[in-house]
Amino acid sequence: MRNFQMKRVTLAALTAIFATGLVSISPARAAEAETEMKHVDWTFDGPFGHFDRAQLQRGFKVYQEVCSACHSMNLVAIRTLGQEGGPEFTEAEVKAIAATYTISKDIDENGDVIDRPGKPSDHFPAPFANENAARASNGGALPPDFSVLAKARHGNADYIYSIVTGYEEPPADMTMRTGMHYNTAFHGNQIAMAQPIDDGAVTYDDGTEETLDQYAQDVAAFLYWTAEPKLEARNRTGFKVILFLILFAGLLYFTKKKLWRDVEH
């Protein structure tokens, strides 16, 4: 009898957990079903993918002039802007870019923190002193760090492109929370970030069209590079490994044929 009661209690607990799971999961699935993920034919897709240097440089300009006001890239060193497989700015350009930032981490002889111009060895500084300052400036929302955002979100670069181009007027029957903005790509369709950029907001020096769609593609490509800076080298290594395995398999096959050719099967 005692075992029977324990089984009933266990079954009731499992039923409650399962029911709770359904309750908590269903809204998430419903929100996910409402999102609209757009796809772009990126140059870096596939095993032979590569980055467009001009696009990465344009994407960095969009980040620097628009996104960096709220979003940090704490894991990215400024010097990587000049590395092979990236934007490939010249050494002088990288130094000039670094000098536009103010770094507050050196200590003087009195133990006080002093400001200095940035150096290529520095990482991109955060726009806010701490998390509380970031939330206070953004209505309580914490802007995510951009270092690896493109790999941390489902859809990767497509996700970023979809978010930037996904702002619309909310449906008439939808109640928007205070301070939120309607976005077709964001889960739940309500996002704290206002539309960050529009046509003509950033001037391109290479004559590329200055449209919202182009800005979104360029910054998404740049942020994918920050998350995968060794993509081209990895693709080249992968191709060499596959080629070696094919040749090695061929050698093994012919070796096997030679060793066993005089043996009856």
In sign, the C-alpha dihedral spanning 178, 182, 188, 194 is negative
Judged on CB neighbours under 10 Å (0-12, 13-18, 19+), 145 is: middle
Tell me the percentage of the chain whose pLDDT exceeds 90. 77
**Minimum mean pLDDT among 101-105, 224-228, 232-236: which range?**
101-105
- Whole-angstrom Cα distance, residue 52 to residue 218? 10
- Whole-angstrom Cα distance, residue 196 to residue 37? 18
- Find the largest Cα–Cα distance for the chain: 88
Q: CB pairs under 8 A, 24+ apart, for 39-45?
A: 39/158, 40/157, 40/158, 40/161, 40/217, 40/220, 42/157, 42/221, 42/224, 43/221, 44/157, 44/221, 44/224, 44/225, 44/228, 44/231
Q: Please report which confidence band the pLDDT of residue 265 belongs to, taking 50, 70 and 90 as the band edges.
A: low
What does the pLDDT read at residue 36? 85
- Whole-angstrom Cα distance, residue 159 to residue 155? 5
Model's pTM, two decimal places? 0.81
Q: Please report which confidence band the pLDDT of residue 87 belongs to, taking 50, 70 and 90 as the band edges.
A: very high
- Predicted confidence (pLDDT) at residue 117 exceeds the cutoff of 70: yes
Judged on CB neighbours under 10 Å (0-12, 13-18, 19+), 94 is: buried
- Whole-angstrom Cα distance, residue 192 to residue 134? 13
Q: Nearest 5°: CA angle at 159, between 132 and 202? A: 75
Of residues 28 and 207, more confidently modeled = 207
What does the pLDDT read at residue 9? 42
Grouping H, G, I as helix, E, B as strand and the rest as coil, residue 182 is strand
- Predicted confidence (pLDDT) at residue 15 exceeds the cutoff of 60: no
- Predicted confidence (pLDDT) at residue 5 exceeds the cutoff of 70: no
> How crowded is residue 184: how many other Cβ atoms within 10 Å of its Cβ?
16
Query: Are the beta carbons of 137 and 131 closer than 8 angstroms?
Result: no
Tell me the percentage of the chain whose pLDDT exceeds 70. 87
